[in-house]
Structure 1
Amino acid sequence: MKRVNTLAIVLALAGMPAAFAAGSMDGVDMKPSTGSKQAARPVAAEIKKIDVTAGKVTLKHDPIENLGMSAMTMAFPVKDRASLKHFKEGESVSVIFDNINGKPTVVEMQRK
């Protein structure tokens, strides 16, 4: 009988921290902060290839901090396909990237 009482007390005490934690979260917003996303900054890049038909540009770019990408050469879709006709392969550009429909995308590109 003594073991049953001891077990009941241990179980009751074990559940107390969970009860206090649940009660202490009242009024706390658990949504991620919108300020935690890094702002898009211009990234230095060189145009390696332009595919106006596909709406893509291949860039040798510096790290893209807001997307967590290291420096590399990669093809990206371009938000404004028509803007590609204003650029040439080999040009140095400043590019702003964003994640659109789950894909890293060029949202703005300017000559340096």
Structure 2
Amino acid sequence: MKRVKTLAIVLALAATPAAFAAGSMDGMDMKPSAGSKQAPRPVAAEIKKIDMKAGKVTLRHDPIENLGMSAMTMAFPVKDRASLQHFREGESVWATFDNVDGKPTVVGMQRK
């Protein structure tokens, strides 16, 4: 009888991690894997700061799905630095982001 109880406890403990792992993925915000990369799409943003010398723009942006980023305000390098001269702080824009050399980068921007 003692062996049956011990076996039942061992089996219950062995099944617990698998059940926990299966249930723990519910409702999680999963980022796309490298194999399932989404195509870049324009994201609504507001220009907070332009740094021509560094070639960066600080944007308050909506979620960037193809990079798995939530909405936030941060500085990004701009692929085409010269394009920054056509924009002003405070403007609302559509920005397109992608990974360039492993960094989230603005690869396109146009006024709304």
Same fold (TM over 0.5): yes
What amino acid sits opposite 1:96 in the alignment?
Answer: T
Matched residue, 1:5: none
| 2:103 is the counterpart of 1:99 | no
Runs of 4+ in 1 over 3 A off after TM superposition: none
Matched residue, 2:89: 89
Unmatched tracts of structure 2, length 5 or more: 1-32
Q: Count the aligned residue pairs.
A: 80
Matched residue, 1:10: none
Equivalent residue runs for 1:33-52 within 5 Å: 36-52=36-52
SS of match in other structure, 1:69: coil
Structure 1 length-normalised TM = 0.69
CA RMSD between the two structures: 1.4
SS of match in other structure, 2:79: coil
Identity %: 81
Unmatched tracts of structure 1, length 5 or more: 1-31
Matched residue, 2:70: 70
Structure 2 length-normalised TM = 0.69
Change (3 A) 1:37 1:75: same
What amino acid sits opposite 1:47 in the alignment?
Answer: I
Q: Which protein has the larger Cα radius of gyration, Structure 1 or Structure 2?
A: 1
